Amino acid sequence: MNIHIKNGRLIDPSNQLDAQQDLFIVDQRVAAIGKAPKGFVAEQVIDASGMIVMPGLVDVAARLREPGYEYRATLESEMAAAVAGGVTSLACPPDTDPPLDEPGLVEMLKHRARALNQCRVFPIGALTYGLKGAELTEMVELSEAGCKAFSQADAPLTDTRVLMRAMQYAATFGYRVWLRPQDSFLAKNGVAHDGEVATRLGLPPIPVIAETIALSTALQLARETGVTLHICRLSSAAAVDMVRAAKQEGLNVTCDVSMNHVHLTEMDIGYFDANCHLMPPLRSQRDRTALRAGLLDGTIDAICSNHSPVDDDAKLLPFAEAEAGATGLELLLTLVLKWAEQEKVPLLHALSRITINPAKLLGQKMGHLSLGAHADICIFDPAANWRVEPAALRSQGKNTPFNGYEMQGRVRYTLLDGQLVFQQ
Amino acid sequence: MNNPQLNKNGELQHLLSTEGLPARILRDILDQAGEFVNPNGGSEIRKVPLLHGKSVFNIFFENSTRTRTTFEIAAKRLSADVVNLNIGSSSTSKGETLLDTVDNLCAMHADMFVVRHSTSGAAHLIAKHVAPDIHVINAGDGRHAHPTQALLDMFTIRHYKKEFHNLTVAIVGDVLHSRVARSQIHALTTLGVPEVRVVAPKTLLPSHVDKLGVRVFHDMEEGLKGVDVVMMLRLQNERMQGALLPSAQEYFKYYGLTQDRLALAKDDAIVMHPGPMNRGVEIDSSVADGSQAVILPQVTFGIAVRMAVMSMLARN
């Protein structure tokens, strides 16, 4: 279908484009910017006056809960949430039940996602069988089935020899390894940052060194094996410094941060608010400041939602017993806008953290609006105010620390491959 | 953020923690408790009809005989109907969630819950959940708080020392795992004690304990020098398994309260312990049974303090 998106402010970080331009889609691809291509006849016109037109968001961490946890969320519910949030591509961690350690599971997931035709799904394969940290998965087979990287999700990999071999094997084929650094012994039974709040509330702590010790191990093994390493969900100032130094050294390492950690700290736990029970834990104000600085100077490549739908029953428990996680797909854009406004970050720069940068982490040619690119597009009204009401969220997960927050910036249209998949 | 313990008039709605309560409420509780203690100095406590017709449910998800019994006696002396439920750890294995249990008890017309739970924050969760005419008393949640224990400790201190503003108090032992210690610290600082010390090896202190407004000592002798009150904490046997301590013997050698060490405190210093005591682990028998120990009066005062808390809640 030929679509004409007119009168919008086009922002495409990949092409350093921020201008009032029309965009023309022919045959599901970006055909022209500014002037209509020769002979173009619009079959559909979208008036984007007062709105921002940008590449569809790419989210490197969104749990869809399939297979195995369909009582928490299904592909149907979470894809609807994704497109409502302007997300057109997402990577899902392998901690499903069973974990994504078999090509058949990956193919099934991709097939289900394709049939729904809402959002592109990039499964991250399990690094070890059953995420048990002992035996390597068939990475080549999994890669052929569609896995774009390999990870332990939040499962521990305590045996450093297994970790080194997993990296060596992945490096052999040029596969990416994604790790969330957390020493499982130091973090054992922990539920909150080892700081003032955990001390006061008597919550079992997770110290910052649980992150930095594991990160140090991962960085040294990456140096040794030459693997392409991606560090997931940085949470501490010390870890940001380590990744910055590793990048300066020339190591092949990237990293991301969750939107929750860009905005919240341990203080938000207040009186045991289980919605703030997140993994990694929310840390101190100083850590949040360092994460924001890391985003600004490019140490941190991407912001993700770390979307993890949890059912109400698993949250209506005392803090430590409640399950970690929060819904996020529908809040990613607005929270990135909020960060950009608070830190006076130009949108061109801010939006790169949820478009071209995460696309590169997945090794995919997407997240931009170059001529010929798939027309995955998000159109949002930057002036629209709204309030986060759990019941109004499309995700099956209703728990969010941002419950009741006033937000600015709302998605109006989402296009996947030149087709309108969401409109409000 | 609203203080979940206070109603809109700033009165006590629930007693969940000693943190965040104004000194006036703490003093009111102590004053009220003073009226329940026999004015002639005897151990007898009067029975009063303040909670007549009210139902108090003691729900204990974690075993306790002492605390539950003193709450039961306190409620009965206030003429309340008391129901005891020892739910233990089996409730979750039966599949019922904490809040389902609470809903069921609310349907039985409970007016007040006394809750003990092994997880920090359980009492807050229940308080947030129940109808506004129901009151919740935290009888100990995980490592977080045990406010009535702290209040009876304050009552005991005031009984023997009269004032708070000129005292130095040492809390000795496993602060890391202790809900009692956290509640004591907040109560002492709120009531104006100028110097609160904690004394323990580094493995038994929370990382940011100094942020609670205490002076940290690792040397027992230094920590006890010149103090007016020594508050001992119980050492659980399982601390030896978690690589926190090598042995009970070694702990006693460096952190056990002996007569020699107690001599470093002021001559009229009092020794307190929340019980149950481990003789020969954190406290020597000669100290526990000695003239400076006020451990049994603590238990007696505990009933009056719990009566005071319950009657204050029932009024608000």
- Report the CATH number at residue B285: 3.40.50.1370
Same domain, A49 and A59: no
Please state the rounded mean pLDDT for residues A337-357. 98
Same domain, B114 and B222: no
B242 within some domain? yes
Q: What pLDDT is attached to residue B43? A: 58
Same domain, A81 and A229: yes
Same domain, A11 and A103: no
Same domain, B127 and B107: yes
A369 within some domain? no
The amino acid that residue B198 corresponds to is V
Instruction: Give the DSSP per-residue string, A48-78.
Output: -TT-EEEEPEEES-B---TTT-TTT--HHHH
Show the domain range for A418: 3-53+374-384+407-423
Q: What pLDDT is attached to residue B92? A: 54
Please tell me the distance from the alpha carbon of residue B225 to that of residue B214, in angstroms, as a whole number: 15
Q: Which of A200, A236, A277, A285 to mutate to test the interface with B (most CBs of B within 10 A)?
A: A200
Q: Residues B88-103: pLDDT tens digits?
A: 655 555 667 889 889 9
Q: Residues A199-242: pLDDT tens digits?
A: 999 999 999 999 999 999 999 999 999 999 999 999 999 999 99
A394 within some domain? no
Q: What pLDDT is attached to residue A339? A: 98
Interface of B with A (CB under 8 A): 1, 4, 19, 97-99, 117, 119-122, 124-125, 141-145, 179, 182, 206-209, 211-212
Question: Which residue of chain B is at minimal alpha-carbon distance from A268?
Answer: B1
B234 within some domain? yes
Same domain, B64 and B170: no
Question: Which among A195, A271, A320 has the least Cβ separation from residue B4?
Answer: A271
A396 within some domain? no
Same domain, A117 and A91: yes
Same domain, B136 and B95: yes
Same domain, B30 and B135: yes
Q: Mark B261-276 as b/e (b = at least 16 C-beta within 10 Å).
A: bbebbbeebbbbbbbe
- Report the CATH number at residue A155: 3.20.20.140
Closest CA to B272 of B242, B294, B287: B294
Q: What pLDDT is attached to residue B85? A: 86
Same domain, B162 and B294: yes
A347 within some domain? yes
Question: Which among B121, B145, B208 has the least Cβ separation from residue A319?
Answer: B121
Q: What pLDDT is attached to residue B250? A: 94
Same domain, A38 and A183: no
Angle formed at CA A410 by CA A405 and CA A414, multiple of 5 degrees: 140
Between β-strands B55-60 and A3-6, what pairing exists: parallel, antiparallel or unpaired? unpaired
Same domain, A419 and A307: no
Same domain, A331 and A300: yes
Q: Do A318 and B121 touch (CB under 8 A)?
A: yes
Cα of first residue to Cα of last residue in chain B, in angstroms, is: 21
**Are A302 and A60 spatial neighbours (Cβ–Cβ below 8 Å)?**
yes
A184 within some domain? yes
* Residue A109 confidence (pLDDT) above 60: yes
Q: What pLDDT is attached to residue A357? A: 98
User: What's the mean per-residue pLDDT of chain A?
Assistant: 97
Q: Do A272 and B120 touch (CB under 8 A)?
A: yes
Dihedral sign from CA coordinates of A356, A359, A360, A366: negative
Dihedral sign from CA coordinates of A247, A250, A251, A256: positive
Min Cα separation B46/chain A (Å): 36
CB of A205 within 8 Å of a chain B CB? The answer is: yes
Q: Chain B contacts of A201, Cβ < 8 Å? A: 120-121, 144
Q: Which of A145-154, A199-208, B46-55, B307-316 has the lowest mean pLDDT?
A: B46-55
Question: Which among B1, B120, B212 has the least Cβ separation from residue A319?
Answer: B120
Q: Which of B97, B176, B208 to mutate to test the interface with A (most CBs of A within 10 A)?
A: B208
Q: Residues B203-253: pLDDT tens digits?
A: 999 999 999 999 999 999 999 999 999 999 999 877 777 889 999 999 999
Please tell me the distance from the alpha carbon of residue A5 to that of residue B213, in angstroms, as a whole number: 61
Count up the domains in chain A and report the number. Answer: 2
Please state the rounded mean pLDDT for residues B151-162. 98
Q: Residues A63-85: pLDDT tens digits?
A: 999 999 988 889 999 999 999 99
Same domain, B170 and B233: yes
Q: Do B98 and A317 touch (CB under 8 A)?
A: yes
Same domain, B173 and B91: no
* Residue B125 confidence (pLDDT) above 90: yes
Using alpha carbons, list the distances in angstroms from residue A37 to A1, A43, A166, A318, A373: 14, 14, 49, 60, 15
Q: What pLDDT is attached to residue A198? A: 97
Same domain, B103 and B152: no
Same domain, A175 and A267: yes
A398 within some domain? no
Same domain, A31 and A116: no
- Report the CATH number at residue A414: 2.30.40.10
Same domain, B252 and B270: yes
Q: Chain A contacts of B209, Cβ < 8 Å? A: 199
Question: Which residue of chain A is at minimal alpha-carbon distance from B121?
Answer: A318
Q: Do B120 and A195 touch (CB under 8 A)?
A: no
B8 within some domain? no
A&B contacts, CB < 8 Å: 74
* Residue B38 confidence (pLDDT) above 80: no
Q: Chain B contacts of A205, Cβ < 8 Å? A: 206-207
Show the domain range for B262: 147-298
The amino acid that residue A278 corresponds to is L
pLDDT-derived band at B3, boundaries 50, 70, 90: confident
Using alpha carbons, list the distances in angstroms from residue A111 to A15, A106, A146, A178, A366: 32, 8, 11, 24, 20
Contacts with B, A 96-155, CB within 8 Å: none
Same domain, A123 and A246: yes
Same domain, B292 and B305: no
Min Cα separation A270/chain B (Å): 8
Count up the domains in chain B and report the number. Answer: 2
Please state the rounded mean pLDDT for residues A171-182. 98
pTM (two decimals): 0.94
* Residue B46 confidence (pLDDT) above 80: no
Q: What pLDDT is attached to residue B218? A: 98
pLDDT-derived band at B66, boundaries 50, 70, 90: confident
Question: Which residue of chain B is at minimal alpha-carbon distance from A191?
Answer: B120
- SS3 category, A268: helix
Q: What pLDDT is attached to residue B236? A: 82
Using alpha carbons, list the distances in angstroms from residue B176 to A45, B207, B211, B244: 64, 9, 14, 10
Q: What pLDDT is attached to residue B90? A: 52
Same domain, B76 and B203: no
Q: Chain A contacts of B120, Cβ < 8 Å? A: 201-203, 272, 318-320
Record the tokens describing residue A184, joined without a space. 């499982």
Same domain, A415 and A307: no
Q: Do A201 and B144 touch (CB under 8 A)?
A: yes
Please state the rounded mean pLDDT for residues A390-404. 96
